[in-house]
Structure 1
Amino acid sequence: MNNQSKYTEELLRFLENEENYPEMIEWIEDLPELDQPDVFREMEAIFKERHLKTGEQDWLDKANLIASGIDDFEEEILDNKLDKALFMMQFDNIEINPEQAPLFLIEARKVIIKVILSNPEDIKEMWKLAKKIIKLEKEAGIYDPANWIEIL
């Protein structure tokens, strides 16, 4: 391959044997999210090159299958990153009307718990936010550890 990425060697190692595929998927999932589409593009290129070398249709079919989902996958990752950034921006320098504070804190707590339980890659950011919300709950006199039991 002429245009090798930093993941080419590792991908080639995984692709030597189909028994390595589950391990390869785990490896890809452990990579930074923004790198994952590039890894799939690299895999597509490897499969196309193998098709050109061998003439086997199976390689081209695999390449086309991967290619068909890369853009949507990347778009989903970018949308999630944007949503997270916008969500976090809402809490920067926030001023809450005292009468609405309990309702706001309840809703924020629900969202934070949901994100922590469903998106392990966001735990660090969400824990920072959870600590801020817990502090606000304590200041407002509505803190109850039972409300946070799912993640504490």
Structure 2
Amino acid sequence: MDFLLVVAVALLLAGVVGSVVPMVPGAGLSLVGIYLYWWSTGYATPGPLALVAFTLVGVGAMVADHFAGAFAAKAGGASTKTTVLAAVAGLPLAVVAGPAGLVVGVTVVVFLAEFYRTREPTRSVRAGLFATAGVLGSAAVQLLVTVSLVVGFALVAI
């Protein structure tokens, strides 16, 4: 078996693991594996259409992962300022406190910002819970996306 194929598959599998581990770019690792294999085949496999599809899915997943909590908070009635604050606060909270810090931190940031803005506890709790659902739902979607990248790669390249 070709060494670069083994490395590419290892990166794809690391992407699956990384999709549920905070601060590990799951979809990004998967894309690196796909592009490594593409390079190792002389830019022949996967074909251009499959490569574009993999890229769009992977990049879309990375963008959605970073902003999921903020978008969900907005869907829960949070203001645009609160949504931006949640998006900005998410990354350092994940770095400092890990997965729990990300989930709890985004929830608390959204709740406090909305409570400060509206003075309505029910509305603030709703926005915070939506943010929590967004962060947790994003992890589940990331897992599905990275697994689908592995399956798609296996179908197209191997």
* Structure with max Cα Rg: 1
Q: Which structure has the higher relative contact order (CA within 8 Å, separation 6+)?
A: 2
Q: Which structure's residues are more often helix, by fraction?
A: 2
For the aligned pair, the TM-score class normalised by the smaller chain equals 0.3 to 0.5
Please report the TM-score for the alignment, with normalisation by the length of structure 2: 0.41
